[in-house]
Structure 1
Amino acid sequence: MRCHGNPLSRRGFLAAGALGGLGLSLPELLMHRAMAEQKHYDFIKAKAKSVIHVFLPGGIAQQETFDPKPYSPLEYRGEFRTIKTNTGEQFCETIPELAKRADKFSVIRSMTHGEAAHERGTHNMFTGYKPSPALSYPSFGAVVSHEYGPRNNLPPYVCIPNVPNEFAGTGYLPSSYGGFALGSDPANSNFKVRDLDLAGGVDEQRFLRRKAALDVVNRKFVEATPADNVAAMNTFYQRAYDLIDTPKAKLAFDIEKEDAKTRDRYGRNQAGQRLLMARRLVESGVRLVTLTYGSWDMHTGLTAAFKRSMPALDVGLSALLDDLSERGMLDETLVMVTSEFGRTPKINPDAGRDHWPKVFSVMLAGGGIKGGIIHGSSDSTAAEPEDNPVSHADLAATMYRLMGIVSDKELMAPGDRPIEIVDGGKLIEPLMV
């Protein structure tokens, strides 16, 4: 399986065919196409050096977060009241700290897709594609890893605390582009990242001898077996060795190096410490961090569940925005808070809300995103998009553009099939700086 960019897309050849009617030869067509492609790629300048993708599994309710409906009947609006933001908008009272910082981020209130099953909705929000029985698509992190590779000997794609689901993987790309999982929660008192330290009894000299011997064996093996999966594994081991052999890179994972006040500021809990770890990693050079927090599949007892889960996330996200801003990192770090779908407009008989992919909310901050914008809207009961619907492909295309990646660039899938990174997504231009 070959996996590389294909600058001559199918769309490009269709355009070239039209030019052929003007009497241009094939070499001239290719030259014109190459020049156009070069201009296209030169134009894409990255606004974001890194992405922190905060995924809230289960499907968080839009009504109890960024899109309250205070004038709807009680059975639609729920038990919570609203709170005014520092930009004059209304959020749910569950996120008072974020409401004070609404000028630092934007909200899409018109996200929409048609997948009401957890697995299928999650696939959409991690790949930008609808699920297909014919092909496994790569996640955002895998694509970013493929396009850019490591920086400062750190993995380009890291998952906190673990790879969250099967759709956060490499899809049709080689396994070497997969996410590096911490394997432990940064909130744990005994937190330690697996696989970063040498095995017991192995000192630095012994490690270097083993590495040199493995390099010789791998070189011979790769030369004799030119298969992509062999090369991918070789790349995987090389990156692992680079990480273990680079003290500064390893230091990025040591959350104990943060001062106590900073850790307290984020919150000594799962949400806070995972978000703090994400900041440490992007500051050190990781290109895309995916982290999860909570379980938002609240079919029953939604009010009590929000009171348990949301305060830590509200404080942690607010601390992240402040911290990135104070360090001069917010403009070059895209923070993206998503979930697989939203919740039903009406409270069910069990005092919860059920799956609802027709409309939900996403939060975006930094990395080329304007602050203080509400993009799109839902109708009076948060049942349908009222205007400016945004698809998962639109969100993916926008994220890639901010990272400096051409979203309609083609990668090679099994069978030498050219597959666009995103198929047809439109940029959410009103949100982009």
Structure 2
Amino acid sequence: MNQPDLISRRSALQIGFLSGLGLSLPGFLKLSAANSDSEAPKKTKADAVLFLNLAGGVSHLDTLDRKPEAPTETQGEFKSIQTCLSGFNVCEHMPKYAAKADQFTLIRGISHSAGAHPQGQSWISTGNRPVPALIYPSLGSVVSKEISSKPDLPGYVAIPKTEWNAGYMGDAYAPFKTNTVPRPGQPFQVRGISLPEGLTLEKVNQRQQLLDKLNRRFKDEATESQLLEALDQFGLQAYNMITSKRARAAFDVEQESKPIRDLFTPDEFNQSVLLGCRLIEYGVPFVTVTYDGWDTHTENFAGHRRLLPALDGGITAGLEMLKQKGLLDRTLIVIMGEFGRTPKINVNAGRDHYPRVNWCLMTGAGIKPGQFIGGTTKAGDAPDESTEIKPDDIAATIYHSLGINPVMEYFTNTGRPTMLVPHGRIMHELFA
């Protein structure tokens, strides 16, 4: 596609004015580039994001937003334990997090109005309230466009998969999905990385040479098309990845040292976090790990009892791995789902969707640890009056951390100008 492209309304007016003085669009762009080059480079806090997506909606009351003064009918089955932060209690099934709570910042009282999973996921993945007229690009797609990655690795990897998409940016910026997760002691093969049986590198190179000839033959006949751009980009990426030993090594978690691998338990979530951290070390700027199963309309407590130990271990192991490798200062870790769950326990011992209250954990990349931002009422049924926090604010803050302007303006493929996160507030209070 033609750049969803960074000419602001102000710049468009400047172009119109300067064209009257004989300066063309190419000349304007060269002048803008020269001015940009003369400015001091932006100081960014992060160059990578690890987003752990708790798909389905984790219960805030049964995890990090405990309410001992809430009515007994909303309390639930879990006991609370004291964390390393005075006065801060969490669920008994999160002891590892409790011991390292001072290394994270907890944002509580995040609120929106999308009560269904697809709309909730769309909101947290883009920072925009879903509307039928426009599909916004997810965070990872924007990052893959704006931050350079290694040519033999994707800019955006989803482990094992995701519903997040590139929206109006087109499929050239869609996530690379592993569709599987590592298993300890077993070779990890990802389609698109490993050569199929019977296919050699020599044959791959021959096919690529033929494709290059065809591309040159039909170059002049190509039209502006998001599909053609996506096909070109996927083809080049596939070739670079499949012929790169470094790319195969990036996905091979068995090459990690035993002390690092031993930080993670054998479950799928922990192994996915291990892979995500390794990919960031190799230069992938945006990685999502989807951990689903939190949609506990029935047997909420049995479901959370099963899911929480892996979450507890995975988030603390990922933190420790990035710290040991010296990557935490440049990697933003974000942990959240699309919404919380109702204070009221239903007749099936479950909790239902509750977009009015949610939480998010952040750490790394200049985040000041040990903070509490926002809050909820004593019953845990609404944000308190401290501040209004929306998914838009979380997205704007992630972009800011990466040095991406959250109100940067793109053009859709129909020529419509639109900002990345027009209603988001950068949460400067998060940063040290």
Q: Which residue is equivalent to 2:387?
A: 388
Deviations 1:54-108 (A, max 9, x none): 1011110111111100121221222212222212222222211111111211110
Q: Contact between 2:193 and 2:247, CA under 8 Å: does it hold in 1?
A: no
Match for residue 269 of structure 1 among 267, 276, 300: 267
Q: Contact between 1:44 and 1:401, CA under 8 Å: does it hold in 2?
A: no
Listed as ranges, the matches of 1:31-180 within 5 Å are 38=36, 44-88=42-86, 89-151=88-150, 153-162=152-161, 164-165=162-163, 168-180=164-176
For the residues of structure 1 that align with 2:378 and 2:303, how far apart are their CA atoms?
A: 24
Structure 2: stretches of 5+ with no match in the other structure: none
Q: Counterpart of 2:67 in 1: which secondary structure?
A: coil
Q: Which residue is equivalent to 1:2?
A: 2
C-alpha displacement of 1:148: 2.0
Structure 1: stretches of 5+ with no match in the other structure: none
Q: Percent identity?
A: 36
Deviations 1:246-295 (A, max 9, x none): 21122100122124443332100111100000011000010100111131
- Residue 162 of structure 2 corresponds to residue 198 of structure 1: no
Q: Which residue is equivalent to 1:215?
A: 212
Q: What residue identity is the alignment partner of 2:170? A: P
Q: Which residue is equivalent to 1:426?
A: 425
C-alpha displacement of 1:226: 2.7
Q: Counterpart of 2:143 in 1: which secondary structure?
A: helix
Deviations 1:152-203 (A, max 9, x none): 52111001012x21xx111111211111111212237564211212333332
For the residues of structure 1 that align with 2:39 and 2:112, how far apart are their CA atoms?
A: 30
C-alpha displacement of 1:39: 9.9
Q: What residue identity is the alignment partner of 1:8? A: S
Q: What residue identity is the alignment partner of 1:344? A: T
Q: Which residue is equivalent to 1:349?
A: 347
Q: Counterpart of 1:265 in 2: which secondary structure?
A: coil
Q: Counterpart of 2:251 in 1: which secondary structure?
A: coil
Q: Contact between 1:70 and 1:81, CA under 8 Å: does it hold in 2?
A: no
C-alpha displacement of 1:34: 6.0
C-alpha displacement of 1:209: 1.9
Q: Contact between 1:138 and 1:171, CA under 8 Å: does it hold in 2?
A: yes
Q: What residue identity is the alignment partner of 2:8? A: L
Deviations 1:330-361 (A, max 9, x none): 11111111111001122222222111111111
Q: What residue identity is the alignment partner of 1:254? A: D
Listed as ranges, the matches of 1:405-416 within 5 Å are 405-416=404-415
For the residues of structure 2 that align with 1:221 and 1:150, how far apart are their CA atoms?
A: 28
The number of residue pairs the alignment matches comes to 418
Q: Which residue is equivalent to 2:399?
A: 400
Moved more, 86-95 or 419-428: 86-95
- Superposition RMSD in Å: 2.6
C-alpha displacement of 1:13: 7.8
C-alpha displacement of 1:26: 12
Q: What residue identity is the alignment partner of 2:414? A: G
Deviations 1:15-47 (A, max 9, x none): x9xxx9xxxx999xx99x969x94998564221
Q: Contact between 1:152 and 1:285, CA under 8 Å: does it hold in 2?
A: no
For the residues of structure 2 that align with 1:125 and 1:222, how far apart are their CA atoms?
A: 39
Listed as ranges, the matches of 1:370-389 within 5 Å are 370-386=368-384, 387-389=386-388
- Residue 182 of structure 2 corresponds to residue 186 of structure 1: yes
Q: Which residue is equivalent to 2:326?
A: 328
Q: Contact between 1:50 and 1:282, CA under 8 Å: does it hold in 2?
A: yes
For the residues of structure 2 that align with 1:199 and 1:266, how far apart are their CA atoms?
A: 30
Q: Contact between 2:48 and 2:330, CA under 8 Å: does it hold in 1?
A: yes
For the residues of structure 2 that align with 1:259 and 1:328, how far apart are their CA atoms?
A: 15
Moved more, 258-267 or 423-432: 258-267
Q: Contact between 1:64 and 1:94, CA under 8 Å: does it hold in 2?
A: no
Q: Contact between 1:412 and 1:418, CA under 8 Å: does it hold in 2?
A: yes
Q: Contact between 1:150 and 1:156, CA under 8 Å: does it hold in 2?
A: yes
Q: Counterpart of 1:169 in 2: which secondary structure?
A: coil
Q: What residue identity is the alignment partner of 1:237? A: G
Q: Counterpart of 1:158 in 2: which secondary structure?
A: strand
Q: Contact between 1:104 and 1:365, CA under 8 Å: does it hold in 2?
A: yes
Q: Counterpart of 2:180 in 1: which secondary structure?
A: coil
Q: Contact between 2:192 and 2:241, CA under 8 Å: does it hold in 1?
A: no
Change over 3 Å in CA distance of 1:395–1:197 after alignment to 2: same
C-alpha displacement of 1:389: 2.0
Q: Counterpart of 2:400 in 1: which secondary structure?
A: helix
Q: Contact between 2:145 and 2:173, CA under 8 Å: does it hold in 1?
A: yes
Deviations 1:214-271 (A, max 9, x none): 1121233333113233133112211111111221122100122124443332100111
Q: Contact between 1:69 and 1:76, CA under 8 Å: does it hold in 2?
A: no
For the residues of structure 2 that align with 1:410 and 1:430, how far apart are their CA atoms?
A: 25
Q: What residue identity is the alignment partner of 1:202? A: L
- Residue 318 of structure 2 corresponds to residue 305 of structure 1: no
Q: Contact between 1:161 and 1:186, CA under 8 Å: does it hold in 2?
A: no
Q: Which residue is equivalent to 2:280?
A: 282
Deviations 1:118-177 (A, max 9, x none): 111111011111111111111111111111243252111001012x21xx1111112111
For the residues of structure 2 that align with 1:72 and 1:116, how far apart are their CA atoms?
A: 23
Change over 3 Å in CA distance of 1:60–1:420 after alignment to 2: same
